[in-house]
Each structure stands twice: as structure tokens, then as C-alpha cells.
Amino acid sequence: MAHCSGLLILLLLQLLLRSPSSAARNRCVAAAEACTADARCQRLRAQYVAQCLGPAASGGCAQDRCRRALRRFFARGPQALTHALLFCPCASPACAERRRQTFVPACAFSGPGSAPPSCLAPLDTCEHSRVCRPRLLAFQASCAPVPSTPDGCPRDQAPRCLRAYAGLVGTAVTPNYVDNVSARVAPWCHCGVSGNRRDECEAFRGLFTRNHCLDGAIQAFDSLWPLVLQEKWNSLQDLEHSRLQVSSADRPLEGCCLLTLLLVLTLQPQL
């Protein structure tokens, strides 16, 4: 029976890590698994998930604590892994939906309220916040289009822009993906009723929604897909493949666990 349970554990591990081809199809799953494999990333993620999904005393969610935990995740987590979770390139709605849900938008982004407010509200809150204001200024400096360069973006801006964008997650102007069919992002607000501050409102929202520098930086993440992550992932795969080959070569399947194995295979989650 020892053979049987050993094989079962290896198979479970293999299913957990999944195959390289499915990881290539859904990079957000690969990013999540790479975070799980890293103790610090995993601990910081568990902390924000606990804060963002934990109920507040008043019902709803504890948005302040959720956002603080998210800022801690990006400040202290390994950047290759935190950015992989935030910017994983997607080719399918399933992947993009996972990406959209990664940072618990129901608490951190839109909060419990159903209708988005005018962008002037989060913008004013941000400008009066010692945490948010410098981050928004950094985002403007590293992501806003500039007329003086050939491509209209700050020079060598992509990595700095992505860092600055990540720095906004967990602030009053937390951005997120707006749907699961595009990589478009926006903060949770609109400019419909902004009166005489309409231009200010549109300029702020446009930094997210009409910004080819930000779009380009997010798209470029595909080619920047961190080597660290790639290597971490490959080494995990190699390890599991070699173990599975060894174990299946010298341990024939026994009737005892065939049923369990079939059950496990049936329960394998669809990507």
C-alpha cells in the first residue's frame, strides 16, 4: 500500500502544478501557483485575502484593512511574483476573469456600494492622503504621455509605469481590470456628473482609460514575463516530471488505488 499512496501523492502534486502547456495558456494560473510556491508571496497573499474576504463588524467588508493588506503585498512581496499576478497576459476570458478577481475587487475596488461615484470623490480623498498622493504623482510622472519623446511616453517608462500602477492598488484610487475580454483598466468611478470640474475628472480618469503609455507597458509585460518566474516554474515542472517518470516506471498501478486515481482525475479542475 505504500507504493500506492506514494504514487497518489505524486499524482496529486502533478495535478496541483498542472502541465506546462496549460500554464502557458493561462498565465494567471501560473502566476498564482508561483506565488503559492514562494513562502513570502504566499503569506502576504493569505493576509490580504483574509482581510478582504473577512466580514467587517458592520456587515460589508473592511475596505481600509483590505487595502492596507494589498499595499503590504505589493510593498513587501517579491516584485516578479506580485507583478506576474497583476499583469499576467491573457488570451481567454477565463484567464482575464481570474486576473480581474485576483485582488478581491468586491472589497478593494468597488467596495460594497453598487453604483460608482464621481471620480472627483476618490481623487479628492487621494490628494488629501499622505499614502495616496505621492503614489498618484508617481503614476502621473511615469505613465502619463509626454509630447517630447518619439513614442509620446516617458523614456524607458514601461517598468517604472508598471511599478507606479501597482503602487496604486490599495489606495483611494485603486484601479482594476474593467472586464474579462480586454486588458482595459480604470478606477471605480465615472465623470458623468462632474460639473465645472469635468476636465479635471476626465484628465484623471483618462490616465487609466485613454493612455497608450500605460496600455503599452501592460502589453509589454508579456515580453518582460519575469525570468525568475519562468525559471521557478520550469524547475518545479522538471522536478515533478522526473519523479513521476521514476515512480511510474518501477511501480505498476495496483488495483487498490486505481479507483482513487480515477476519482482524482475526474475532479481535476478545468482551466
Give the shortest CB-91-to-ligand NAG separation in angstroms. 12
Phi, psi of 245 (to 5 degrees): -65, -50
Closer CB to ligand NAG, residue 30 or residue 80? 30
Closer CB to ligand NAG, residue 104 or residue 126? 104
Q: Which residue is nearest to ligand NAG (CB)?
A: 97
CA–CA dist 212, 209 (Å, integer)? 9
Q: Is 49 exposed, middle or buried (0-12, 13-18, 19+ CB in 10 A)?
A: middle
Q: Which residues pair with 190 in a beta bridge?
A: 118
Return the C-alpha cell found at 41: 508571496
Give the shortest CB-192-to-ligand NAG separation in angstroms. 21
Give the shortest CB-93-to-ligand NAG separation in angstroms. 4
Residues engaged in binding ligand NAG (CB under 6 A): 93-94, 97, 180
Q: Which residue in 156, 167, 104 sits closest to 132, CA to CA?
A: 167
Give the shortest CB-262-to-ligand NAG separation in angstroms. 28
CA–CA dist 141, 135 (Å, integer)? 10
Closer CB to ligand NAG, residue 60 or residue 93? 93
Give the shortest CB-94-to-ligand NAG separation in angstroms. 4
Give the shortest CB-101-to-ligand NAG separation in angstroms. 9
List, as one string, the DSSP characters of 200-248.
Answer: HHHHHHHHHHS-HHHHHHHHHHHHH--HHHHHHHHHHHHHHHHHHHHHH
Closer CB to ligand NAG, residue 30 or residue 168? 30
Return the C-alpha cell found at 248: 511510474
Closer CB to ligand NAG, residue 93 or residue 152? 93
Q: Which residue in 227, 229, 222, 224 sits closest to 37, CA to CA?
A: 229
Closer CB to ligand NAG, residue 77 or residue 89? 89
